[in-house]
Amino acid sequence: ELDAREYEIKAGGGVVAVKINGKKEILSIDIAPELVDPDDIETLSDILVAGVNEAIKRVEETNSREIEKITGAMAMPGLF
């Protein structure tokens, strides 16, 4: 069930939206046209990296919370 979940994370004040699934596979990246400036590729790159990193973090946090609910916060060495 966790692998099938999808998340949408916005970065750069909403100009980039990253869609990711529970398996940490990027499904899509939407970029607002006003963000694309051929003279400033570095800003676009930075915002994309921030969006992807936030998406991965969100999946990991959600998965950890859900597993903790199931295991009752028991210590299970080697599970993650």
- Give me the percent of the chain exceeding a pLDDT of 90: 64
Residue 37 CA to residue 9 CA, distance in Å, equals 22
Q: Where are the beta strands (DSSP E) in 22-73?
A: 26-31
pTM above 0.75, yes or no: no
Give Cα separations from 53 to 11, 25, 39, 47 (angstroms): 10, 12, 24, 10
**How do residues 11-67 score in pLDDT, each as one tens digit?**
989 999 999 999 999 999 999 999 899 999 999 999 999 999 999 999 999 989 988
Kindly indicate the confidence band of residue 74, based on its pLDDT and cuts at 50, 70 and 90: low
Residue 40 CA to residue 14 CA, distance in Å, equals 18
